[in-house]
Structure 1
């Protein structure tokens, strides 16, 4: 028997699907899993050079893969004016003041992470920022990156006033006389692009490395970057940041980059996407690929830009004329997706409202009719509201449901800014994971960090319970939308590996697969459902090397 460099023993093994194995050891040689064997046979793989890791009852699992994340902008925001830890509106403003005071030479204060539920109507006003930074422009992205908060200096610098119209893909919150009030939703945030300073290359690179460090500590060994283009958080070219990491050998994980589809553009974008895909394929042996295209179908429900089949209601419960925004005409979307599929691109849809989900699935269906079955593994992310009959179409079209499970619980943003403005019965259609699984849909999982925490175990806890830790509420959408723990774990491991076209060598604990592994303690399969969040990462291994240890 060949000797192992590392041998894991003394704990259960989640292989990437089904219930964990008990009484087995995992041998690693070099960067690969050498064998998964019964414990009595493990000694055959040990010699004087073998490092034996006693799990002491912890769980060994494939490394997590985040199927929808924005690490470059997340890392940059951590290094700028970071509001993610603010507890309310006053605390957010205090964070801004502290950052401005500590950085007197920055011409613009930029960053993000503010929560919509901290402000009336989800829309902070310019006066709050003016009170603490009156003399410099301030521009801050919301935590979900669908809204921008600006002070008066920034609004003036951009030349915006009461006469500025709303763009087709966004909305400006206004004061009674039409003056911009301070919040700019969706595409309205781009009205600052011509004046805001770009994020420098060194800061963007530092942001990626900071994000990678944080994600590895959460057991994440691969991800799909859901916006590789220009402009996200002021970063001018996300792909160039990864190119530098490849050149300097600092990219430790494997990454699929989703090239950003400019919704105002046309099919002329496809040639450039093909060129960039080939460029990065020539640079690296699979560490970073650009074979995916990201398409924003709609916005988000809390600012009423998610595309819905029924109208939103006003504060009095009356129907409005607003059904949200479809950023791309559905007929044109079908044409775009058909051409992308023919060019062997995967399509990663942002589809949050029920109309957006239908339009995205219609586009996948059109591509399938035109091109036949392909290995595109197209996936729809977010899926907040899904009509019941649409859940069966995922399996029929081999489309993957890319879930952000952390959101599938009662909390202020959904209870105060979303559900009151939707039609009766809408709560029952929120994040219908159970329906999707019962109808045969394949699941992947991601965080959308920095929109919300990147911690897979917190998301898995909510996928299983539909209640956030510490809350005493009814499960959002009903108990029938819960997932069992093995299914939720599989979504974050083998499911996301499938989406990333890396299920041939990652996402499972199998002989011959890369030794990308995570150790979780306590074993979540041994905990009551309400305590799953207590299971945390003890160690992360990448390519057979220890990449993170909680004790080191």
Structure 2
């Protein structure tokens, strides 16, 4: 008999199999799950077997993040990090502290600031000037759709009152028409392209930090939603390949190759070549990311009807005929398409494009998906299941915060407000749900996102929940974070559930959230993360 190398006993095991069953033990050998259930597992224990006592804590398949940017998140953690700042004053204090701790004359880079902390959602260059002096500063905002820059950065980049609005971007201006300090969408590149080259070693360090942080949160596999240059960030693909070739890539990584909206289908041969380049030991890229719109807070999410108070209908980055042709051509050569769609017009355009591809190509087996899904027209909810499109949810966004109550709700109106983040409706219609953090847009904390999916409010938040009728059950939220995300990215053949024969990718929580009050789910931590039978994170150090 071949004995197990590691067994888990003494606690509940959520298998995430098709019927959502539980068991009470798991055995691991040579990186694979070899048995489940106490009777069978205990027979595989020998003197050399490591026995992990769960002590009533929940064991899950390894958590998977279906939409994340670990390079961006890692860079933010090692640069001027404004994540979780609670006020304008705290943001400025953190910048001042970073400047003091990192003297010199170089660019101040970082980000993570939240629009809701500043008047009108747009911080000014004069505020930043006070704490940065003559050093240029470029700080990406929390949602990765804009940046806060100071006067020196604008001057060095030649951006002034005469600079025209770039296609797909907007410059916030003061009453005299001068750049006020906030740049939206493609306008960020007006400054970002003037940042001096960053040493490759810093990007490798950042990606390793991003990986470490994800493992700390129980994540064993993830989908990097942009493999390409974006918003001043470099293409992560080469750095992933470097880590994978050196066997330093411990997570299982899939990614979406970036679709250049300034070009057409002539770029597809290059994408096919990049897909081949991405094929590695723990790396693959079988999908293409198409950005269809922006975000609601700066009125760039594409809407079927205009925002209230004269803010237009948002930005559609691709014409419907161009989008349909791109999706048809990508689908025909085996690419899944990963859409960014926040507004109801963008969501409909994505659905229409996939429908047209299905008609042209038949059922190809590609797993197209739409991420973000903030505003979805009721007529479009059932189309996800009908077309086999994955609903990729960023659950942590579905709560009432300042960005929602001050920068979004007043401009959507009551009807569209009630159509936001329709998780329950999508689930009930039969759509496959996957879950992603979009870190560093929001925290890389799957159990916090699970909490919001179940409660429609953040842990400890006293604000009213956001449309509580759209909450999902804990089991559904955990399924989206495990087997649902695995299915979305073609990893379900060997991960996503605790099934004999699958990889031993496992996450042990520090409690059993099924025994907690719903209001406490978000405080659940991670005790241990295992990938292929190897422990990559332990709370014990």
Classify the TM-score, shorter chain: over 0.9
Shift of 1:321: 5.7
Q: CA–CA distance in 2 between the matches of 1:423 and 1:184? A: 26
Pair 1:376 & 2:366 matched? yes
**More deviation, 451-460/256-265:** 256-265
Q: CA–CA distance in 2 between the matches of 1:150 and 1:532? A: 38
Pair 1:434 & 2:428 matched? no
The aligned residue for residue 262 of structure 1 is: 260
CA deviation digits over 1:326-385, x for unaligned, max 9?
011111111101111111011110000000000011111111111100111011000000
8 Å contact from structure 2 (residues 23, 36) kept in 1: no
8 Å contact from structure 2 (residues 61, 497) kept in 1: yes
Pair 1:542 & 2:539 matched? no
Shift of 1:408: 0.6
- Report the secondary structure of 1:10's partner residue: strand
- Change in 2 beyond 3 A, CA 1:371/1:19: closer
8 Å contact from structure 2 (residues 294, 302) kept in 1: yes
**More deviation, 42-51/368-377:** 42-51
The aligned residue for residue 3 of structure 1 is: 3
Q: CA–CA distance in 2 between the matches of 1:199 and 1:408? A: 35
- Report the secondary structure of 2:255's partner residue: strand
- Report the secondary structure of 1:13's partner residue: strand
The aligned residue for residue 111 of structure 2 is: 112
- Change in 2 beyond 3 A, CA 1:77/1:201: same
Q: CA–CA distance in 2 between the matches of 1:22 and 1:325? A: 46
CA deviation digits over 1:86-141, x for unaligned, max 9?
22111111111221222222521111111101101100000001112231111110
8 Å contact from structure 1 (residues 442, 495) kept in 2: yes
Alignment TM-score, normalising by the size of structure 1: 0.96
CA deviation digits over 1:276-331, x for unaligned, max 9?
111232xx24x1112111111000000010001111112xxxxx260000011111
**More deviation, 78-87/338-347:** 78-87
Q: CA–CA distance in 1 between the matches of 2:57 and 2:171? A: 51
Q: CA–CA distance in 1 between the matches of 2:51 and 2:105? A: 51
The aligned residue for residue 183 of structure 2 is: 184
Runs of 4+ in 1 over 4 A off after TM superposition: 17-23
CA deviation digits over 1:130-160, x for unaligned, max 9?
1122311111100111111111111111111
**More deviation, 98-107/464-473:** 98-107
Q: CA–CA distance in 2 between the matches of 1:291 and 1:469? A: 36
8 Å contact from structure 2 (residues 381, 426) kept in 1: yes
The aligned residue for residue 317 of structure 1 is: none
The aligned residue for residue 292 of structure 1 is: 287
Select which of 302, 305, 322 maps to 2:300: 305
The aligned residue for residue 53 of structure 2 is: 54
Select which of 238, 241, 245 maps to 2:239: 241
Pair 1:523 & 2:512 matched? yes
Alignment TM-score, normalising by the size of structure 2: 0.98
Q: CA–CA distance in 1 between the matches of 2:3 and 2:381? A: 48
The aligned residue for residue 274 of structure 1 is: 272
- Report the secondary structure of 1:139's partner residue: strand
1:150-165 to structure 2, matched below 5 A, reads 150-165=149-164
CA deviation digits over 1:214-256, x for unaligned, max 9?
1001000010001111134x33231111111012211001101
8 Å contact from structure 1 (residues 199, 235) kept in 2: no
The aligned residue for residue 403 of structure 1 is: 393
- Report the secondary structure of 1:11's partner residue: strand
8 Å contact from structure 1 (residues 225, 255) kept in 2: yes
Q: CA–CA distance in 1 between the matches of 2:482 and 2:359? A: 31
8 Å contact from structure 2 (residues 218, 526) kept in 1: yes
Q: CA–CA distance in 1 between the matches of 2:384 and 2:211? A: 32
Q: CA–CA distance in 2 between the matches of 1:222 and 1:549? A: 17
Shift of 1:23: 5.3
The aligned residue for residue 95 of structure 2 is: 96
Q: CA–CA distance in 1 between the matches of 2:105 and 2:16? A: 47
- Report the secondary structure of 2:213's partner residue: helix
CA deviation digits over 1:11-40, x for unaligned, max 9?
111112477655521111110000112x23
Q: CA–CA distance in 2 between the matches of 1:468 and 1:261? A: 34
Pair 1:460 & 2:450 matched? yes
5+ residue gaps, structure 2, are none
The aligned residue for residue 219 of structure 2 is: 220
Select which of 322, 333, 337 maps to 2:323: 333
- Change in 2 beyond 3 A, CA 1:372/1:73: same
- Change in 2 beyond 3 A, CA 1:11/1:399: same
The aligned residue for residue 14 of structure 1 is: 14
Q: CA–CA distance in 2 between the matches of 1:137 and 1:367? A: 46
- Report the secondary structure of 1:424's partner residue: helix
Equivalent pairs counted in the alignment come to 541
The aligned residue for residue 475 of structure 1 is: 465
8 Å contact from structure 1 (residues 11, 22) kept in 2: no
Aligned-CA RMSD value: 1.3
Q: CA–CA distance in 2 between the matches of 1:106 and 1:485? A: 50
1:483-498 to structure 2, matched below 5 A, reads 483-498=472-487
- Change in 2 beyond 3 A, CA 1:23/1:275: closer
5+ residue gaps, structure 1, are 315-319
8 Å contact from structure 1 (residues 198, 235) kept in 2: no
8 Å contact from structure 1 (residues 260, 295) kept in 2: yes
- Change in 2 beyond 3 A, CA 1:91/1:534: closer
8 Å contact from structure 1 (residues 522, 534) kept in 2: no
